[in-house]
Amino acid sequence: SYVNLDGQRQPFRAAIRAPGQSRPGWKILRRLGELFELSGFDFTGLEQVAERINDAEPDVGEQSFELSDAGSTEDSLWRIGDVPMYAGDGLQRRSVPLQNTTHADAPVVRLHPDTASSLGLNDAERVRVTQGEASVDLPWRADARIAEGGVWLPSATEETRGLGPAVGPITVEALP
């Protein structure tokens, strides 16, 4: 399993058996721990490993968001974020040719024109977006494809990695 960008644990299963005499990583680590007489390496099955992982608290930072954080006013903004095409994993993020394409451009905050107008952003070139205690300053664009009250802001980028979840409450303010 792994902990995704929103702090949720996501399990998965192997699609095929390992070739030849190769062994899963947990079995290799268990055997090495046994050889070095280390404690905590006494697993005999993957179920025990999964159980221990599920008992552990993942380190996903100090931020915690609930749907109730959005408030009940119609003035609330809601982040809508995707993971950009070439930000999915470390191999893609370190690939110079992929990062030199337009698909890897720096993120831009996109808002519906009416939302931008109600926030007084029309004359601003950059905005400050805030989720929880984290904020980032970015350029913005009006985009009629975005729902009113929505803020389209990619996640999993260098600029936005410290913000909260890809879908959650957010604030936007104009920068001078």
What's the pLDDT at 57?
A: 66
pLDDT category at 175 given cuts 50, 70, 90 is very high
Mean pLDDT of 25-45: 88
What's the pLDDT at 82?
A: 87
Whether 172 and 139 have beta carbons less than 8 Å apart is answered as no
pLDDT category at 64 given cuts 50, 70, 90 is low
Full-model pTM: 0.58
Q: Which of 131, 171, 127 is nearest to 149 (CA)?
A: 171
Q: How many CA atoms lie within 13 A of 115 on its CB side?
A: 26
Q: Which of 155, 160, 151, 140 is nearest to 84 (CA)?
A: 155
pLDDT category at 58 given cuts 50, 70, 90 is low
Q: What tokens does 149 get? A: 């009250």
pLDDT category at 72 given cuts 50, 70, 90 is very low
Looking at 34-48, 67-81, 91-105, 147-161, which range is the least confident one?
Answer: 67-81
pLDDT for residue 140 is more than 90: yes
What's the pLDDT at 135?
A: 94
pLDDT digits (tens, 9 = 90+) for 108-131: 999 999 999 999 998 899 999 999
Write down the number of H helices and E strands in the chain: 5, 8
What's the pLDDT at 84?
A: 86
By CB atoms closer than 10 A (0-12, 13-18, 19+), residue 129 is buried
pLDDT for residue 69 is more than 50: no
What's the pLDDT at 27?
A: 87
H or E stretch covering 114: helix 113-118
Decide which of 4 and 103 is more confident: 103
